[in-house]
Amino acid sequence: MKKTLAADTPAGVLPDPRHSFWSRIAHEIGEAIRQGTYAPGERLPTEHALAQQYGVNRHTVRRSLATLGQLGLVRTSQGSGTYVEEFAVEVMLGKRTRHRQSLAQAGLKGGLRLLQTHVDEAEPGVAQALGLPAGAPVLHLVVLGDGAGQVLHASDRYFPLPRLAGLDAHLHQTGSITEALHRLGVSDYTRRESRITARLPSAEVAALLQQPLTRPTLRVTSVNVDSSGCPVEYACTWFAGDRVAISVDHAHE
């Protein structure tokens, strides 16, 4: 019987800087954290200093910092100030999203680790995403993604069979789904759709992410297609809410 990470228990993305002063400030500070301008553990300038820097009132700055706190990028210590979380990576979701590429943009190294592999009968949701009849065989992989020695996400990934039979072996060898797909004749693939929500993790997901059950995860479901538009992967990924902020790239859809 298959073993899945699925948990039925809001998604965080950096706000669009075009919408308001507070969203622009939150976006710029989040980008500065991603680029290393503010190091992990470093105290940010005071609300007063940020208000002067951006030419706004302290209430606007406070809202910006609260948003970054909800995304897990900063934490506020009463009477002491606001600090960059010890580990926070901004992951970009765009037309082409690759784990190693996202880490490289953040100046980190990491990869994917295959934990489990099964051949399942596709449940209706999985079958619909992959354009298969319900009950059709699919390759189901449970995968961990890490960066700089920290677990960033855990995922259930489904691939159509028999087309992508053996992908698990290639993933185990390369640590890269992109390379594994390439070896099986999929030279390129793009993200057709993504859905982002925030959910409390199941006990299994929390254990894999090494986080408390009470801390929300960012859950992303996505469908990837080959150059002809045929689905090659359906993935359900849980990101550690205190280590990852998800940013959606609208410029390269």
Domains defined for the chain, CATH in brackets = 21-84 (1.10.10.10), 92-248 (3.40.1410.10)
**Residue-level pLDDT at 53:** 94
Task: State the pLDDT at residue 8.
Answer: 39
Three-state SS at 194:
strand
- 168 vs 39 pLDDT, higher one: 168
Q: What is the pLDDT of residues 29-66, one digit of tens each?
A: 988 887 778 877 789 999 999 999 999 999 999 999 99
Q: What's this model's pTM, rounded to 2 decimal places? A: 0.68
Pick from 17-26, 164-173, 235-244: least confident: 17-26
What confidence score (pLDDT) does residue 73 get? 81
**Alpha-carbon torsion angle 22, 25, 27, 33, nearest 10:** -140
Which helix (DSSP H) or strand (DSSP E) does residue 30 occupy? helix 21-34
The pLDDT score that the predictor gives to residue 2 is: 41
How confident is residue 252, by pLDDT bands cut at 50, 70 and 90? low
pLDDT at position 121 is 97
88 with 40: CB under 8 angstroms? Answer: yes
Percentage of the chain modeled with pLDDT above 90:
55
Q: Reply yes or no on whether the pLDDT at 140 is more than 90.
A: yes
What is the model's pLDDT at position 36? 75
| Residues 86, 74: Cα–Cα separation, whole Å | 9
Average pLDDT, the chain: 85
Q: Could you tell me the two tokens for 102?
A: 């996202």
